[in-house]
Amino acid sequence: MDKEEETQKEERKEVLLSWSSPSRLFKKRDAEYYRNIAAIVFLLLVILVLAREFLLIAAVLSIVFFVYVLSTVPPEEVTHKITNLGIDSAGHFYRWEELADFWFEEQWGQVLLVFRPIFGTRTIILLSDQNKEKVRETIAKYIPFLEKPEKTWVDNAASWLTKKVPLEKPV
């Protein structure tokens, strides 16, 4: 495709909805959360030292640092646009042909718009103050809406682990 055709396609792109929201979920954590993480990591590190798995120790410490950074640094504000060609979110464009379906979830008091692509991993967008019904009606013209998505074994395992090993008191 040459530049002229590409320019014509871009000109035909029509923005149907637009809003700004944080780039990811964020929740201020209390000291109990960090103490529980530290206790679990300490026990894991003792086991790994006894097993002489020093490379694995470095990997665990890297993951702990990553979790710490994500839970202390607030997310940036990004812009999301629903167009007639697809969804433009934080500089990434997802074409309707690449998306299989979508649904809404709620976590930490925030509404999430979740897309399941044909290939790859889910894309999650925070709705912030955007009207959920308006978003649903707009997107449902292009891809199917699911009331309740199918739970994968990863979803079930994460739910089970969260219930069995709470890192902080439920609110």
pLDDT digits (tens, 9 = 90+) for 63-84: 999 989 988 899 999 999 999 9
Examine residue 65 and state whether it is found in any structural domain, yes or no. Answer: yes
Residues 6+ apart with CB under 8 A from 113: 102, 104, 124, 125, 126, 127, 135, 139
Q: How confident is the model at residue 11 (pLDDT cuts 50, 70, 90)?
A: low
Within-domain flag for 168: no
Q: How large is the C-alpha radius of gyration of the chain?
A: 20
Taking the C-alpha atoms of residue 7 and residue 12, their distance in angstroms, rounded to an integer, is: 9
Supply the CATH number for residue 102's domain: 2.30.29
* Mean pLDDT value across the chain: 86
Residue with the two structure tokens 């000109």: 11
Provide the pLDDT for residue 5.
Answer: 59
CA distances (Å), origin 130, targets 24, 81, 127, 136, 169: 16, 11, 5, 11, 30
pLDDT, tens only, 98-130: 999 999 988 888 899 999 898 888 888 998 888
Residue 143 has pLDDT above 80, yes or no: yes
Tell me the C-alpha distance between 83 and 138, whole Å: 9
Within a 10 A sphere around the Cβ of 127, how many other Cβ atoms? 17
**Strands of the 15-22 sheet, one edge to the other:** 15-22, 77-83, 86-89, 92-95
For the residues 145-163, what does the mean pLDDT come to? 83
| Band of residue 38 on the pLDDT scale cut at 50, 70, 90 | very high
Average pLDDT score over residue span 23-48: 90
Residue 91 has pLDDT above 70, yes or no: yes
Residue 102 backbone zone (phi > 0: left; psi -120 to 50: alpha; other: beta): beta
Q: How far is CA 124 from the centre of its chain?
A: 4
171: in domain: no
Same domain, 54 and 80: no
Same domain, residue pair 60 and 83 = no
Clarify whether residues 82 and 57 are in a common domain.
no
Say if residue 2's pLDDT is above 70.
no
Position 133 in a domain: yes
Outline where 51-85 has alpha helix (H): 54-72
Q: Is 122 part of a structural domain of the chain?
A: yes
Which percentage of the chain shows pLDDT scores above 70? 92
Q: Which domain holds residue 136?
A: 14-23+76-149
Q: Is residue 52 a part of any domain in this protein? A: yes
